[in-house]
Copies of this chain bind each other. A is one copy, B any other.
Amino acid sequence: AQTFEEIGVADFFYRNRDIAGFTSPSRAVFSAIRELVENSLDAAEDVGALPDVRVWMFKKGETTSGVSIYKVRVEDNGSGVPPQSIPSAFGKVLFGSKFKLRQARGTFGLGGTMAILYGQITTNKPVKVISSAGGPKAFAYKLMIDVERNRPIVLSRKVLNNGSGWRGTIIELHLEGDYLRAMPKVLEYLKQTALVNPHANITFVDPKGRLYVFSKATEDVPRPPKETKPHPYGVDVELLQRLIRATNCRNMLDFLRAHFHRVGEVMAKRFLESAGLDALRDPRSLTHDEVVQLSQEMKSFKWFLPPDASCLSPLGEELLRAGIAKELRPEFIAVCQRKPSAYSGHPFIVECAMAYGGDIPKAEYFTLYRFANRIPLLYDEASDVSFKVIRSINWSRYKISSDMPIAIFVHICSTKVPYKTIGKEFIADRQEVKREILFGIREVARQVQRFLSKREKAERQRKR
């Protein structure tokens, strides 16, 4: 007969490492560095600091079967983590500070913890975390993860004098890895991260002691993204029930104005009228079926204003142009920032660019650079929504052929990037996102077409 069991969530990710991007020793090196660097960038932006992220990798030995063991150390000047939250932040899966509706690189609450988990199951060494919020004290922890119960095991905790008022976090972990195979992807990742984060200083010392420096190109800190409320178009029954359970509002008018994005008094009244709901009704008195009806009415009410994207922090055309120029030195760059749109109530902005010539190689097909919330996506390109859009375009209409030296950039920023995988390899093809990418790429394709025909004309005139 069958035996039934329940497993914990950390145990789930321990058993299914491929899911979180830890398929092999080389992928593990990439994923570990990436997760830690993204946490550091988020932490620096949280306090409005120009990020200074330093990564070291030291070779520490080899296993008896010849796989290398590395120590990875990442140090940042971010917000630091409050001491009482350090054990859970690094020793518990689905614990974190990014579960809000706000644009950030982190979103799942498990990336950094997965890197620590992988390190622990391959080397059985604890992670070392040192963190301070800038006060007189800094806190140093040695932690392991209780995988079956998904909770931190604190091996040691020390309080240090922080005379210099240093603020930030240092993480040190050991893991089995294959740096040689991972190296090209790691360096490409850091290079592309620097491209879309020109305000950040990133340095990397690899196991051979080679230093790679990606220094900041600007002193301007990007406008920090703001937290937003859910938009009426993104509600479902579960969300409504949670809001009703937690609300202090005692009538529907206040409830709609207080909890939803861009719903003011006038709009709330208009909606309640059209839905046939009494404005003075206590939200907690709604029946099950009324909640379902409310959810459907909110989704279909035509007059709600689209989500405003002031809560988002896109790259901006100037920065995108500057980053591409620096990295690829192309002859021509076309850039386009689409107007804000939304899927399931989540606002998003798509930014596209197309570059021609310079250091861009001629290849069988265009070179595609994908980014989401200022992080580069380097794997599984063919499943990504951007790739599918590019493949669907008839390029001969723009007198562009796929073997030209052309690079295409797509960046999407949102309060919730619709990743298809836990390892953030690629983005799911949501209709609304697909449409915006298509319009963005068509716009830059037209600009490149104009550039090419001007060039051709000039070429022809020169020949006469």
Hey, which bits of chain A sit against chain B, CB under 8 A?
1-9, 12, 14-16, 18-19, 23-24, 46, 63-66, 79, 82, 85, 88-89, 92, 94-97, 99-100, 108-109, 120-124, 147-148, 236-238, 242, 288, 291-292, 295-297, 299-300, 380, 382-383, 416, 418-422, 425-426, 428-431
Contact = CB atoms under 8 A, between A and B. Distances in A.
Contacts of A8: 94
A288 B144 CA distance: 13
Copies of this chain assembled into the complex: 2
Given A124-B237, A420-B421, A97 B3 contact: yes
Contacts of A429: 23
Contacts of A100: 3
Given A19-B422, A88-B4, A242 B300 contact: no
Contacts of A9: 9, 12, 94
A1 B134 CA distance: 13
A236 B121 contact: yes
Contacts of A120: 237-238
Q: Which 9 A-B pairs have the closest CB atoms?
A: A382-B382, A65-B300, A2-B97, A18-B428, A64-B300, A124-B237, A380-B383, A383-B383, A9-B9
Contact of A419 (B19, B66, B92): B19
A19 to B, nearest CB: 6
A147 B238 contact: yes
24 contacts: A2-B82, A3-B97, A6-B88, A8-B94, A12-B108, A18-B419, A18-B420, A18-B430, A19-B419, A19-B421, A19-B422, A23-B428, A24-B431, A63-B300, A64-B297, A65-B299, A121-B237, A122-B237, A124-B292, A148-B242, A383-B383, A383-B425, A420-B421, A422-B422
Given A4-B85, A4-B95, A6-B109, 8 more contacts: A9-B12, A15-B416, A18-B419, A18-B428, A23-B420, A63-B300, A65-B300, A121-B238
Contacts of A64: 296-297, 299-300
Contacts of A12: 9, 94, 108-109
A277 to B, nearest CB: 13
A23 B7 CA distance: 26
Contact of A124 (B97, B291, B428): B291
Contacts of A147: 238
B123 A292 contact: yes
A284 B225 CA distance: 52
Between A19, A95, A120, A418, the greatest number of chain B beta carbons within 10 A of the residue's beta carbon is seen for A19
Contacts of A109: 6-7, 12
Nearest to A19: B422
Given A8-B94, A97-B2, A418 B123 contact: no
A353 B347 CA distance: 46
